[in-house]
Structure 1
């Protein structure tokens, strides 16, 4: 029997144990006959199932150890909930085996419903939620987005995209240039004010729900640069927006953040430069991650969005002359085919 079928059998047995206790505690009556169907999967080893009985719907997370650990999810869910951010309530948990039973926040992500007409309203809600958890004190013992983590993330690009995916070995001069570029990006990130950072705050991880949005996939949260999440929100892995609109949304966030007492940069141009450089760090990391997912995990579909990240980087290179050395390195790489916005 395949390993994943063994996990599914264990998951069903766990549900048989915990659902009667949950239904009794919540006053929901007897546990009805229900279906368990795949809800979603992601780039990690986690899987999600929807338990459905009539109008009652729950989400079951399967996060197999040792590849995954549910504890950060539970911890950060509590933190975000304390800031009135709409996150799934943890209804039952087996942390040792990697099973969680959660509220179902809905069936449609922002990515599935957002368009040019409703984007302003949806992003306004997303910014309000972002500001809510950025107000949290930095006292919950989360990891910090330190130099070591930033550097490990950047190294994914030469290791997995340049070397493994493209088959290119950078020479000593190119490696030295890469190190200088990394130092520039890391120094910019470390110089920023710190807040709680979701690390993947994008439309795919936001659910259209009431209250809106429902926030998912927050288990990797850290304390780090204030521009990280808002840059991620508007320079998404799976859809792109006109640069003028992104600029207006960033200005809106910066104004709201200042009014809310979030420690953003004093001047908008300083904020925008920090956002640009933070975005480049993230884009390089994600290109490396997508290459790793392809070659290590056998999931090549993510590579189709790599051209989007190169476009984001090229837009920044055009207005940030301090990144000219990075531009020269990237110009020496073969270009992937461009995808539509």
Structure 2
């Protein structure tokens, strides 16, 4: 990865003249990251090139989270014209790799992630757009838009949307006082910091929505296996001070949002392969179908489960997508 042309002048203005600019692994978007290393300090350079990316939401949410005492990166400087942001370096100690090496720490670290999200839910929501019906629908439609054509399936689109509208109605009714939803809260976006805090990353798409969403994101991780036992224990931990009827309602909404998120991700991972030529994302699809089917087993998802049974039979779900489709 070659640093963007405007990077050197941007760093010079911020007092980082002569620093080395080293590539850091990117993500599934157009954003790229570089580590800026000077003699006695280092930082991260985010390259979020317009028009594909807009770094302003990341900056806004980072400052909101820091104001609420969460560990989001400090913003050292920004060049919005070129999509450049210099931010605090949280290092390389990521939750995902740490747990791969230290599986015995899984329960306490996951409990910490659940405690963090519960604390976030006690704070006022950020000034961000709502996670409304149009957004939920746009996301689940990624499956019929990308996955179904890739599998040469003709599906009942109107029935798909009607089933989701029925199932999501109680979730939307429950988020009248919304919380900040980070939307990509999982083990590959959590850094383990030296002060025993959890460093938050990749929250630029935050919306104001339902408290169950980020729990689903963490406990039904698209990229890391989370055992059913661990998921159940952490959900119970989150619900420890809920009344029984409240807890049952939350579990219903958790399953609904799990199904919504996993449906979306199947569509996104198919798109990443076919449009963006990133076939490695197909390797995650068996996990995504397993998670989705687990959520669809909840009785409150019956209309959506019926649609899947009628339009994407179980045998199709096991078939690999042909990359050159």
Give TM-score, length-normalised by structure 2. Answer: 0.89
1:67-106 counterparts in 2 under 5 A?
67-106=52-91
Check 1:276–1:127 CA distance in 2 against 1; reply closer, same or farther (3 A cut).
same
How far apart, CA to CA, are the structure 2 residues paired with 1:113 and 1:191? Answer: 39
Check 1:332–1:231 CA distance in 2 against 1; reply closer, same or farther (3 A cut).
closer
How far apart, CA to CA, are the structure 2 residues paired with 1:34 and 1:216? Answer: 23
Displacement of 1:128: 2.6
Displacement of 1:55: 5.0
Displacement of 1:266: 4.6
Q: Determine which of 143, 164, 176 is the counterpart of 1:182.
A: 164
- Asked if structure 1 preserves the Cα contact closer than 8 Å seen for 2:72 and 2:200, the reply is yes
How far apart, CA to CA, are the structure 2 residues paired with 1:274 and 1:226? Answer: 9
Give TM-score, length-normalised by structure 1. Answer: 0.85
Q: Deviations over 1:227-267 (max 9, x none)?
A: 000111110011122212211110101226x5xxxxx9953
Matched, 1:60 2:45: yes
The match for 1:13 is 9
Q: Determine which of 202, 207, 212 is the counterpart of 2:186.
A: 202
Q: Deviations over 1:157-212 (max 9, x none)?
A: 1001111x223222xxx334312322133324312332110011111111111342
How far apart, CA to CA, are the structure 1 residues paired with 2:44 and 2:245? Answer: 42
Displacement of 1:337: 6.2
Q: SS at the partner of 1:231?
A: helix
Q: SS at the partner of 1:199?
A: coil
1:99-118 counterparts in 2 under 5 A?
99-115=84-100, 116-118=103-105
How far apart, CA to CA, are the structure 2 residues paired with 1:137 and 1:92? Answer: 26
The match for 2:267 is 288
Displacement of 1:336: 3.7
Check 1:17–1:277 CA distance in 2 against 1; reply closer, same or farther (3 A cut).
same
Q: SS at the partner of 2:240?
A: helix
Q: Deviations over 1:257-284 (max 9, x none)?
A: x5xxxxx995322211110111000000
Matched, 1:161 2:147: yes
How far apart, CA to CA, are the structure 2 residues paired with 1:68 and 1:188? Answer: 33
The match for 1:261 is none
How far apart, CA to CA, are the structure 2 residues paired with 1:159 and 1:333? Answer: 20
Structure 1 runs (4+) greater than 3 angstroms displaced: none
Structure 1 gaps, min length 5: 21-30, 259-263
Q: Deviations over 1:103-138 (max 9, x none)?
A: 101202211112531111211221232123222223
Displacement of 1:47: 0.3
Q: SS at the partner of 2:317?
A: coil
1:1-341 counterparts in 2 under 5 A?
5=2, 8-20=4-16, 33-54=18-39, 56-115=41-100, 116-138=103-125, 140-163=126-149, 165-170=150-155, 174-193=156-175, 194-209=178-193, 210-255=195-240, 258=242, 266-320=245-299, 322=302, 323-328=304-309, 329-331=311-313, 334-336=316-318
- Asked if structure 1 preserves the Cα contact closer than 8 Å seen for 2:19 and 2:36, the reply is yes
